[in-house]
Chains A and B, each alone.
Chain A
Amino acid sequence: MPANDLSLRSAVDVLYSDHHSWLQGWLRKRLGNTFDAADLTQDTFVRVIKARTALDIREPRPYLSMIAKGLLIDLFRRRSLEQSYLEALAAMPQEQHPSLEEQAILLQALMEIDRLLLGLGPRVRQAFILSQFDGLTYPQIAERLGVSVRTVNNHMAKAMEHCCLMQIQLQLS
């Protein structure tokens, strides 16, 4: 192991032993649940190790809480998506329900799509969903959103560009 890796490792060790319980407490306050807090604490340190930044950290607690905040948002987003998914499923006739296995795949696929859509403005997002998933034509979307067909067209182009760049970025990371 190169010297640099050794010092990086000991920096992570110090960070872990000094701030681990503090971070878990911080997360537990926000989550109200010990299990999730322990999971996210672990995930936070995994991020730190992967980013190889432990040696450069000047203010460990603000840094750790910044990463943990990102993970919290991901978790909330995931839960809220799951909730919406279950509601949508409940509205479907029972005989049309996919099998449990299909459902797991579907939910995962929906989360991945959700990540592509992250960062789009609400109007753009809505226009895109109406076109892609509800199969509406642009004139129909324009009518529903109270905008011109041209605006819908621009929304769609913007959304596709955004999703495409997000997809490339996610593939790289």
Chain B
Amino acid sequence: MNLPSEELKAIRVAARWYARLNSGITTDADRADWRAWLAADPLHSQAWQRMAAVAEQMASVPGSLASPTLSDTHQRSRRQVLRSALLLTSAGGLGWLGWRSQATQNLFCDYRTAVGERREFQLADGSTLTLNTDTSINIRFDGQQRRLELLRGEVLVTTAVDPLRRPFKVVTGPAEVLALGTRFIVRSQARGGEVAVLEKAVEVSLPATGARRRVEAGQRLDFNERSLGALRGNDVSVGAWQKGSIIAIDRPLAALLDELSRYRPGVLRWDPAIGDLQVSGVFPVDNTDLALAALESGFSLRVTRYSRFWVQVAGGDRR
């Protein structure tokens, strides 16, 4: 095999990380160290993807059947077969559909994007996810449910029909979003979030309060820890990030800059005096410098770059 030695090394280290994180006795500190390692080099995340591919292959079969079948056939005796059979019956309570693998329970399908990155993933059941900038997601699929945990950021979900008919649920902060055969966007924000439905419908609920509401295609709803907001209509700006833009229609400048800053690393500051200025336009998220330049010329603002990572927006000289 002709893999470069750095790649082989990354695979070896990734395998050690896998072993450590899969022990069943992982600490938060381990996970933090792992994240740092993962972020340190693209080769690391590539090697990690390979681990995920192995884990996915292992997860493609029910463990209760794989274990006795794969236990080394050269060494097996009748007694071992019997013991495996006993193990099977004791684990049998879960039923055929109840198989789960360690891999899917752990952080394996932990998908993430960096600031400014946008990526599409296909899940094992055929559903697709488009992760917007700075987004982290955990996938927990098992025999009973397809559960996606949105830890931060924003995701567009297109669910596939599941032959096992498991419900598809997105959990973020205080809310649960149950897909009713559908395409929708969930965004996580400090203390809450927003759900926008593009096709069919979802049901949003707050398990802590018991509140629930159905959101149909073309509608959106925000929520916080205490309550669900009112239903509002979607406009063209909803989900525009998929195509790489932010669409603003008479939007306060502060909100637009807030939005833009999600897509750029570093600090974006603005003078509060200009925060209420109403702006409209289409701004590219893949090149936020261009977006700032458009604001600068279109709305007579002054953009000062102290460094690549520190940008200040202020009012220009008005005539």
Contacts and interface: CB of A to CB of B under 8 A. Distances in A.
Q: Say if A and B assemble together.
A: yes
Interface in A80-112: 80-81, 83-85, 87-89, 91-93, 95-98, 106, 109-110, 112
B69 interface: yes
A137 B24 contact: yes
Contact of B73 (A84, A109, A169): A84
Nearest to A82: B69
Contact of B67 (A87, A122, A134, A165): A134
Contact of B95 (A96, A132, A140, A153): A96
Given A110-B69, A113-B66, A165 B1 contact: yes
B59 to A, nearest CB: 8
Contacts of B65: 85, 88-89, 92, 106, 110
B69 A88 contact: yes
Given A113-B57, A132-B102, A84 B19 contact: no
B200 interface: no
Interface size class of A (residues with CB under 8 A): 35 or more
A156 B1 contact: no
B66 A129 contact: yes
Interface residues of B, number: 50
B15 A135 contact: no
A153 B100 CA distance: 21
A133 B19 contact: no
Given A81-B73, A156-B22, A160-B54, A106 B61 contact: yes
A1 interface: no
A113 B68 contact: no
A157 B15 contact: yes
Contacts of A161: 11-12, 15
A110 B53 CA distance: 15
A23 interface: no
Contact of A133 (B18, B70, B95, B96): B70
B12 A77 contact: no
Interface string B19-58: 1101111000000000000000000000000110110011
| 5 nearest A-B residue pairs (beta carbon) | A137-B24, A91-B85, A133-B63, A156-B19, A161-B15
Given A132-B101, A160-B54, A167-B53, 16 more contacts: A84-B69, A85-B65, A96-B92, A113-B61, A116-B57, A129-B70, A132-B103, A133-B58, A133-B67, A140-B24, A160-B14, A160-B19, A164-B11, A164-B51, A167-B50, A168-B3
7 contacts: A88-B68, A89-B65, A113-B70, A125-B72, A131-B102, A138-B23, A161-B12
Interface of B: 1, 3, 8, 11-12, 14-16, 18-20, 22-25, 50-51, 53-54, 57-58, 60-73, 75-76, 81, 84-85, 87-89, 92, 95-96, 100-103
Interface of A: 77, 80-81, 83-85, 87-89, 91-93, 95-98, 106, 109-110, 112-114, 116-117, 122, 125-126, 129-140, 149, 152-154, 156-158, 160-161, 163-165, 167-169, 172
